[in-house]
Amino acid sequence: MKYSTTTGKLADARTDCLIASLRTARTVARALHAGEFVEAAARDFIDKPGRALLITLPKAAKVARLLLVGTGDDALAPADYRKAIGAVATALKTAPIKDAVLALDDIRVTGYDDYQKARVALALLSSQLYRFSADRQQEEPQPAQIERLAVHCDARRRTATTRAVKHGQALDVGMAFARNLGNQPPNVCTPTYLGREARKLARDGRVRVKVIDERELEAMGMGAFVSVTRGSATAGKLIVVEYRGASAKEAPLALIGKGITFDTGGISIKPAAAMDEMKFDMCGAAAVLGTTKAAIEAKLPINLVTLVAAAENMPGGNASRPGDVVKTLSGQTVEILNTDAEGRLVLCDTLTYAERYKPKAVVDVATLTGACVVALGSHASGLFSNDQTLASALVEAGEYVWDRVWQMPVWEDYQQSLKSNFADMANVGGRDAGAVVAACFLSRFAKKFKWAHLDVAGSAYQSGPAKGSTGRPVPLLFQYVLNHS
């Protein structure tokens, strides 16, 4: 969707739809000589968050429709504000509207300034109005999709609103990119496909992209990474995207994404039920690429290195066996007890690779463990870190855009679960604290920098009738990067 800022009298706007509170809508209707018409149409409207009413105005009016947003008379709590914007999105999904004006001026939200009010609204609309072009030849007719939305503001709010729209537009682009990658079928979205899509980011002159193939990964000593991908007929890739928006002397932030484009579990094969959802095992990669695209779109003055560990985990003749021992890029050895714990194997070598950039901080994102889904469900992503300042910054960014995380321990006590009789460590522990033990495994490869791990197994995609990529945690990561810039 294309976002913009507009000023001037709302009654003079030529638009398919004006989205406003009941108070503002009444004022505009009177100016359009449609006051009595709107009063009659809104007679039974309940003015509270979560309610919305679309009113088609007479043909003579410049504004074709009014979309009333329930707000009540008092300042809204942030949760009620999100509920109000959610009702707007629901109404827009089914309405024949291609462009709209969003009037937020008279809506007060406790704790929000003008910038955050607009940012949160645009983020919610981007999330809920996203539509994936599915590969269906006989698709049911769908209503026209909204293409343009202008945020109205007065002169006092213009600077803040323009900035919010710029960042909201960047996030919209990044979220759509991430969700489109996640929703592609696994016969399309392979490691090679991810590499091609990443190369498109280099159309911006500040971006360099390098795709390292499997043969080079093996030559470099990435034994853990290669142990995962060797079972597939499709070669693995390490995708490196370098965005330079600041001085070359400034150390970059590093984002690492797990990009398992399909996960059968390997020799430790998964049950057949819902295995189709294992195409979403690359949503960590999609998220860091989406965040990078958003940072490029916003022209953020920051240096960013994005590393995508892309591979398929298949049970081929060359696949790893339970009991195999592999040597990582760090020199540490790993006994593979479960080939379905493959994400940590591609990530551990990628974490070591990140050392060469001397990053300010490293954040890895992965649909890593079912245990995290059991612990947190879909509402929050799991957060693990070796640096509390970094962890707090991620928590704060997530709260700001309502893409929340919950911090969990990476205590030394849990490291005992990874003991092996035949290598420096095993790749899994027992059943207990599976998400924590997985993070502890990764922490052994993150001792040379500030590091955080986001386990997004429960938040990155949805099952059921609404099956698909959510784009999370792109909003959190973009806000974190934005705060740094």
User: CA quadruple 358, 448, 435, 185: dihedral positive or negative?
Assistant: positive
How many whole angstroms separate alpha carbon 178 and alpha carbon 472? 9
How many whole angstroms separate alpha carbon 18 and alpha carbon 417? 58
344 catalytic residue (yes or no): yes
Task: Quote the strand ranges of 367-456, DSSP E.
Answer: 381-385, 405-407, 425-426, 451-455
Q: What is the DSSP letter of 145?
A: P
What's CA 379's distance to the chain center, in Å? Answer: 13
30 catalytic residue (yes or no): no
Consecutive H or E run containing 242? strand 237-244
Consecutive H or E run containing 211? strand 207-213
- Of the residues 270, 327, 360, 448, only one is catalytic, namely 270
How many whole angstroms separate alpha carbon 222 and alpha carbon 235? 14
Q: What is the DSSP letter of 13?
A: -
- Of the residues 258, 344, 404, 450, only one is catalytic, namely 344
Closest C-alpha to 41, from 58, 18, 24, 61: 58
Q: Is 70 left (phi over 0), alpha (psi -120 to 50) or beta?
A: beta
Consecutive H or E run containing 346? helix 343-354
> β-strand 65-69 against 52-56: which pairing, if any?
antiparallel
Q: Specify whether the CB–CB gap between 279 and 218 falls below 8 A.
A: no
What's CA 414's distance to the chain center, in Å? Answer: 29
DSSP for 43-70, written as a single string: TT---STT-EEEEEPPTTSSB-EEEEE-
Tokens at residue 472, please? 């999370």
Closest C-alpha to 55, from 98, 80, 76, 26: 26
How many whole angstroms separate alpha carbon 83 and alpha carbon 411? 38
Task: Name the residues annotated as catalytic.
Answer: 270, 344
